[in-house]
Amino acid sequence: MSMGESPWLSIPLADYEGHMETVGQTGALRRLFADIYATVKPVRLAVLGCTTGADFDEVDPAVTQLALGVDINAGYIATAEQRASRLGVNAQFICGDVLNVDLPQPFDLIHAALLVEYVDTAALFRRARHWLSGEGVLSVVSQEPMPGVEAVSATKYESLQLLAGHMSLQPAVEIERIGVQEGFALQSRRALEVSRGKFFMHSIFEATEAAQC
pLDDT for res 165: 81
Q: Does residue 2 fall inside a structural domain? A: no
pLDDT for res 1: 36
Question: CA–CA separation, 72 vs 51, rounded Å?
Answer: 8
Containing structural domain, residue 58 = 7-212
Question: CA–CA separation, 70 vs 92, rounded Å?
Answer: 9
Q: Does residue 138 fall inside a structural domain? A: yes
pLDDT for res 4: 53
Question: CA–CA separation, 169 vs 185, rounded Å?
Answer: 21
Q: Does residue 96 fall inside a structural domain? A: yes
Q: Does residue 45 fall inside a structural domain? A: yes
Q: Does residue 1 fall inside a structural domain? A: no
Domain count, the chain: 1
Question: CA–CA separation, 76 vs 98, rounded Å?
Answer: 15
Q: Does residue 68 fall inside a structural domain? A: yes
List per-residue pLDDT tens for the chain, 213 residues long: 333 578 899 999 999 999 999 989 999 999 999 999 999 999 999 999 999 999 999 999 999 999 999 999 999 999 999 999 999 989 999 999 999 999 988 999 999 999 999 999 999 999 999 999 999 999 999 999 999 888 888 899 999 999 988 889 999 999 999 999 999 999 999 999 998 789 999 999 999 865 554
User: What CATH number does the domain containing 40 carry?
Assistant: 3.40.50.150
Cβ 209 vs Cβ 153: under 8 Å: no
pLDDT for res 101: 96
pLDDT for res 196: 74
Q: Does residue 122 fall inside a structural domain? A: yes
Question: CA–CA separation, 110 vs 88, rounded Å?
Answer: 20
Q: Is 6 helix (H, G, I), strand (E, B) or coil?
A: coil
Q: Does residue 55 fall inside a structural domain? A: yes
User: Nearest CA to 177 among 169, 186, 168?
Assistant: 186
Question: CA–CA separation, 53 vs 30, rounded Å?
Answer: 10
pLDDT for res 71: 97
